[in-house]
Amino acid sequence: MPTAIDPKVPSFVPVPAASHFPLYNLPYGIFSPAPTASLRAGVRIGDHVLDLSVIEDCGLLAAAGLPPGTFDQPWLNRFMELPAEQRRLVRLLIHGLLREDEPTLRDDATLRARSLLPASSVTMHMPVMIRDYTDFYSSREHATNVGIMFRGKENALMPNWLHLPVGYHGRASSVVVSGTDIVRPCGQTIAPDAATPSFGPSRLLDIELEMGFLVAGSNELGTPVSVDEAWDRIFGMVVVNDWSARDIQKWEYQPLGPFNAKNFATSISPWIVTIDALMPFACEAPAQDPEPLPYLREQDRRTFDITLSIDLQAEDDEPLTICRSNFKHLYWTMAQQLAHHTCTGCNLGTGDLLASGTISGPDKGSYGSLLEITWRGTEPVTLPGGGIRKFLADGDRVTMSGVCEKDGLHLGFGEVTGRILPAHKDLQ
């Protein structure tokens, strides 16, 4: 049994050249093969989904010693809480099963028909039961841009920003899977020249290009996770669109931070790409000055080179790419976020989602929110069909994606997409 996966090994399942899902990727998700069928776990390969509940049921993952029915579940949590070594073994077994030179599944037409389904024929669901959601603010470029807009160039970064990964506790119940429509939120806002606030649909509805990671395993309440232990607690990553109502945020955020502006929807891509699959794309995170306090100092200051993009598409129009950014720009790493989150003894558990915060790059084309792209509405975007956008209009669709490429190896996250529906009539 090999202990490492060779990225160059092909599969007997055809994989289109530009596919995000070569045999090496094997991201996990939850799907239903038909509207009335139960939810179960799968991995994506090319344009197909391998039904892991069938593969497990046939005994083909027996060498991993999984608890019975690990993949016959509506969420991945039961698999995610297994030790990292056991999860790695499962990845090896699945990879071995799909190799071009392995006949077990390749030559069994009945089992193939039961377990290997066209991706276009299945429905994707939330991959994880998200227990808790925390959102960070880890992009120096984003924090600086927002700081300049609201406080001026001299005070762009708050005094704490270079010393700790700033974050807040978000809302898990409204984290939704890609494809879910987003209803424009209503809330309190105040017009620039008004003395009192008014209530109604948000007029400054925005996006936030983020990536999130899913926590594997639990630490006991009162027991911090060190920055160097943190990597074994990270199951994998997804692309995140953290929808935000800027006008609601501006009025409500002092002194406790955002509330209604951020609690109505956060969309995630359906396939979780594991940290193991991302390792060929590891790179060094930006240097930190000043040096952080000892509990945030990493022996291996690792992040990943993931190219990110945002497409904005009005109803009956073509999509326009409005941003190209990269995950590697983030100042604070996932390990630092996890260590900081637990330094008080806060317990993180399997299925917690920790998101990066808006990922903006150094250049104008790399900003991860409309707030920055249109510079607070002063530089609107012109869409292919002639529409003008400062913020999102009803019917607009936003699609975000992430891709890794190195030495001929290419993999991706698929996409996270969502469309804006008009606000509730009763509330207007």
125 given a catalytic annotation:
no
| Residue 94 Cα distances to 24, 104, 105, 232, angstroms | 10, 12, 11, 21
Rg (CA), the chain: 22
- The closest of 378, 379, 375, 415 to 399, measured between CA atoms, is 415
Of all residues in the shown chain, the one whose CB is closest to Ca ion is 242
Q: How many residues bind Ca ion (CB under 5 A)?
A: 3
Q: What is the DSSP string of 146-208?
A: HHHHHH-GGG-S-TTTTTS--EEE--STTEEETT--EEPPEEEE--TT-SS-EEEE-SSEE--
Residue closer to Ca ion by CB (options 11, 337) is 337
Least distance to Ca ion from the beta carbon of 226, Å? 26
Least distance to Ca ion from the beta carbon of 366, Å? 17
Residues in region 228-247 near Ca ion by CB under 5 A: 242
Least distance to Ca ion from the beta carbon of 212, Å? 10
Least distance to Ca ion from the beta carbon of 191, Å? 25
b/e map of 130-155 (b: 16 or more CB within 10 Å)? bebbbbbbbbbbbbbbbbbeeeeeee
Q: Which helix (H) or strand (E) holds 125?
A: strand 123-125
Structure tokens at 284: 């060094």
Sign of the dihedral through C-alpha 61, 63, 64, 68: positive
Coil, helix or strand at residue 426? helix
Q: Does 208 bind Ca ion (CB under 5 A)?
A: yes
Q: How far apart are CA 61 and CA 52, in angstroms?
A: 9
CB atoms under 10 Å from CB of 104, counted, come to 14
Least distance to Ca ion from the beta carbon of 331, Å? 15
Q: How far apart are CA 2 and CA 411, in angstroms?
A: 22
**Number of residues in the chain:** 428
Near Ca ion by CB under 5 A, which window of 133-141, 154-162, 322-330, 369-377? 133-141
Residue closer to Ca ion by CB (options 309, 369) is 369
Residue closer to Ca ion by CB (options 52, 261) is 261
CB 186 within 8 A of CB 200: yes
Residue closer to Ca ion by CB (options 333, 369) is 369
Residue closer to Ca ion by CB (options 12, 243) is 243
Q: Candidates 51, 132, 135, 141: give the one binding Ca ion (CB under 5 A).
A: 135
Near Ca ion by CB under 5 A, which window of 112-120, 208-216, 281-289, 296-304? 208-216
Least distance to Ca ion from the beta carbon of 66, Å? 35
Near Ca ion by CB under 5 A, which window of 85-93, 130-138, 185-193, 343-351? 130-138
Pick the catalytic residue from 48, 95, 142, 341: 142
Residue closer to Ca ion by CB (options 312, 353) is 353
Residue closer to Ca ion by CB (options 78, 246) is 246
Least distance to Ca ion from the beta carbon of 211, Å? 11
Coil, helix or strand at residue 280? helix
Residues in region 245-284 near Ca ion by CB under 5 A: none
Q: How far apart are CA 128 and CA 214, in angstroms?
A: 8
Binding site for Ca ion (CB under 5 A): 135, 208, 242
Known catalytic residues are 142
